[in-house]
Amino acid sequence: MAKVKKIFACTECGATSPKWVGKCPACGEWNTYQEEIIFKETPQEAAKSAWKPKHGPMDGPKPVALTDISASNVMRLVTPDNELNRVLGGGIVPGSLILIGGQPGIGKSTLLLQVTLQLKNKVLYVSGEESEEQIKMRADRLTYSQDHCYILTETNVSKIIAFANELEPDLVIIDSIQTLQSPYIESTPGSISQVRECAGDLQRFAKTTHIPVFIIGHITKDGSIAGPKLLEHIVDAVLQFEGDQHYTYRILRTVKNRFGSTDEMGIYEMQATGLREVSNPSELLLSQKEEELSGSAVAATMEGMRPMLIETQALVSKAVYGTPQRSATGFDLRRLSMLLAVLEKRGGMPFGMNDVFLNLAGGIRVDDPAIDLAIVSALISSLEDVAVPSNICFSAEVGLSGEIRAVNRIEQRIQEAERLGFKEIYFSKYNLKGLDQKRFGIKLRPISKIEELYQALFV
């Protein structure tokens, strides 16, 4: 009988150790080692298997020359959910393994059950966390057809694959990978060895049958997907479903995608009847104000191929205590500190003696550097207590020397601003090269330095 051996493995890099250590010597992360049970052959079992030939007839796929492989386009499974199609790069690729993670209660199960009910194809929904009655209650709330959806409450991965082979569905959804267990592994569900083995079995099933598989994964308290890092390497796409509990908007981002771009983003609104697609997020991310207020500016940003207008709000006030406060919601705090240093050094503005608070309306997080100019305008507006006209938007990056730098896809940003009724847009003059200014009905205001922005709006 095989001997049971215990080792400790790092969930970040996969390094192993015979005992638990606080800091991983390979990747330097703390508290990432977890116990794992493996089986090792006894000398008698090894002797029995030693007589077997090492090189016998090979089954399975054979090596194929690259020139002999046809380059025909793969037919994707296009879902009725346009936001999901955009994030996946145009639809679900046959045989792909897709992992979706997010905070508890954010709507991961609701999203995939809604996609399941919207599809007209045969779908197998496997749940290891909820009973059939609980899934039925959620499906009734979503008010979609349920004839083609099959529910299986099972945690044994071998039985799940056997049922899937018998049913032959067009899509399989696993909720969640941490609840599955393999009969060949002794450890508890959710452990490193169980997650790795179950994910490997599902990958082999997806690749051999060409049936796409969605996997829901839990996340840790720091926001990363629970389990070994190998899980994210096995799958073809990793989607992150995020949002604030105090807002109704949910954002689906692509962390990894072998079949498309990783810059795409889908936006949903949580309602009583499920998740509603937000096809025009600009109108929702712009607040409705009855009067002009200081500290507010609109930025024209890009998320993948989608242009969006987002309102930036800044508040600058005298520091009550000795050390001024810096707070940013939806924006990198270190980049905010950099912009404040540029304004103080190049513009001579006394931000070092003031508390600064920054917020992006709608609870959204933006990493596009083109939002810099709008944030600078909002900061100066709040400091000077002069309102920026609501029909003006901004799209440019700010450099360390105070220069206004060019950004990509400026034409799409200008078109989005014009479509939503803005009259002027400030951007870098270095974006003028190759830009046909006559095709736009909005007034273009190219600038090259922060001083030009200050002279145009606050003098």
Binding annotation: 102-109
Residue 41 neighbours by CB under 8 Å, 6+ apart: 2, 3, 49
Neighbours of 210 (CB within 10 A): 11
**One-letter identity of residue 380:** I
**One-letter identity of residue 61:** P
Integer Cα distance of 127 and 35 in angstroms: 26
Binding site for ATP: which residues?
Answer: 102-109
Integer Cα distance of 428 and 404 in angstroms: 5
Chain centre distance of CA 12: 19
Integer Cα distance of 248 and 254 in angstroms: 20
Phi, psi of 374, rounded to the nearest 5 degrees: -65, -40
- 296-303 and 306-318: which strand pairing? antiparallel
CA atoms within 13 A on the CB side of 208: 11
3-class secondary-structure state, position 355: strand
